[in-house]
Amino acid sequence: MLKADAYASLLCGQPPNIHCEELDVSLSSTFALSNSNGLGVTYERTLQEPTGRAYCKLFAITSNFEQSMPCVLLVEDIQIGLCGALRSVWKHNRLCRSGVMGLHPTVDITESISSQLDAWKMELDKILVQCTRQSKQESHGLPLRAYVGFEDESDPGWNTIALGRVKALTTETAILYHLLSLHLYISRHAKLAEFLLPNPGGASIRPPPGDDWVSRWKQSKDARKALAHAVAVTRTLESALLGTKDSSLPSPITALAFLISRSVLTIWGASLEGTCTCNVEEEHIDIDLNSEGLYRGWELQGWFENGGPAKVNGNPLCKCAGELWFLRLEALLF
């Protein structure tokens, strides 16, 4: 219910209806998240259940109380934490777009919310690394064991199926993280937010920001952070789509994240002045947030502060490369 409320809020531009303080409910057991098929399996997995999850409340997760965290975090727990952070993001957005002097959040408030989102993303990365490592070992513990479904652990390939569930959930959760971050940095500039983000009053035709305004926005730290998250959305989607047999991803927010990311990259590309920089022998900073550990590196933080030529996975982020990138991704999506 919390997840459905958060997704509806993001899609419709409305405030979330559920208040985290109301969630006086314990976390579900690990064996119940994928399934427990048959009483025999249920009893077996109950004995393997880690102690402490039944005493951890959802409101503690959404409030990010470290002392109340379960001993083993699962991807679903990260989703709960991100959904809980949505209310802070939404309040931040409304204050930014209110137009009332004195209500605009300070940079410190924005960065505080961003740090909270980043902390959940770091935990998500740890879970994926841990599950990938466990899938290659003979004995499998948590968190990978929580994603075993109808498969018999004596059958070959069951660990690959379980890891596939982890990767699918990780992709959806990463998209949610980047979408919340995009809302956070786009909303600090009211004209861009009105053009890119869903309106609380419903759909309407909104003219794009003027060239002079876009040029000023591009020089801001918020623009560079929004660009990095937009790039991360497209990279995450491309990696997921290339690794699945399905033609589309099931998450309701996938299309919204893609459209906002494409708009950010299009506006950024249109604001680039002069000739293309892809063939210029100049140092480019890799802004790929999906590179392991890179988004916490000093090099990327320096680019956020000072700007400069950017690249993604070794390819310069320039006018001529951007359109080809989107054509390739659209072929996978649609």
Q: What is the DSSP string of 119-176?
A: HHHHHHHHHHHHHHHHTTSSS--TTGGGG--S--TTSTTHHHHHHHHHHHHHHHHHHH
Give the pair of three-digit tokens for residue 226: 């929004």
Q: Indicate if 184 and 227 belong to the same structural domain.
A: no
- Of 157-166, 181-190, 291-300, which range is least confident? 291-300
* Three-class DSSP category at 243: coil
Q: What's the average model confidence in pLDDT over 276-293?
A: 65
Give yes or no for residue 214 having a pLDDT over 90: no
* Same domain for 98 and 28: yes
Q: Are residues 140 and 229 in the same domain?
A: no
Q: How confident is the model at residue 27 (pLDDT cuts 50, 70, 90)?
A: confident
Among 140, 172, 207, the domain boundary falls at 207
Please say whether the beta carbons of 315 and 288 come within 8 A: no
Looking at the fold, whether 148 and 222 belong to one and the same domain comes out as no
Give the residue numbers spanning the domain of 249: 208-334
* Average pLDDT for 82-110: 83
Q: How many Å apart are CA 145 and CA 134, to the nearest integer?
A: 9
Q: Where are the beta strands (DSSP E) in the chain?
A: 285-286, 310-312, 315-316
Output the average pLDDT for the chain.
80
pLDDT band at 6; cut points 50, 70, 90:
very high
CB 127 within 8 A of CB 163: no
Question: 250 and 149: one domain?
Answer: no
Same domain, 14 and 76: yes
Q: How confident is the model at residue 247 (pLDDT cuts 50, 70, 90)?
A: very low
Domains: count for the chain: 2
Residue at token pair 């359109």:
323
* Cα(255)–Cα(159) distance, integer angstroms: 30
Domain boundary among 143, 177, 207: 207
Residues 7 and 143 in one domain: yes
Q: How far apart are the first and last CA of the chain?
A: 29
Strand order in the sheet with 285-286: 285-286, 310-312, 315-316
Task: Pick the more confident residue, 29 or 334.
Answer: 29
Over residues 54-63, the mean pLDDT reads: 84
Residues 257/233, Cβ–Cβ less than 8 Å: yes
Q: Which two tokens stand for residue 304?
A: 């956020």
List pLDDT tens digits, range 186-213: 888 877 787 788 876 555 555 566 667 7
Q: How far apart are CA 240 and CA 261, in angstroms?
A: 16
**245 and 201: one domain?**
no
Q: Name which of 188, 189, 284 is nearest 231 in CA terms.
A: 284
Question: Are 253 and 116 within one domain?
Answer: no
Cα(231)–Cα(317) distance, integer angstroms: 10
pLDDT number for residue 7: 93
Cα separations in angstroms, 114 against 247, 291, 329: 32, 19, 27
User: Does pLDDT of 2 surpass 80?
Assistant: yes
Residue 66 and residue 119 in one domain: yes
- Boundary-marking domain end, from 207, 241, 258: 207
Query: Which residue, chain included where needed, has tokens 């993280």?
Result: 177
- Asked whether 233 and 253 are in contact (CB, 8 A), the reply is no
What is d(CA 244, CA 246) in angstroms, rounded to the nearest whole number? 5
One-letter amino acid at 262 equals: R
pLDDT of the residue at 102: 65
231 and 197 inside one domain: no
pLDDT grade, residue 124 (50/70/90)? very high
Most confident of 51-60, 113-122, 287-296: 113-122
Cis ω before 143 (30° cut-off from 0): yes
Query: Within a 10 A sphere around the Cβ of 178, how many other Cβ atoms?
Result: 26
Of the ranges 9-18, 140-149, 314-323, which is most confident?
9-18
139 with 234, same domain? Answer: no
Give me the pLDDT at residue 20, please.
81
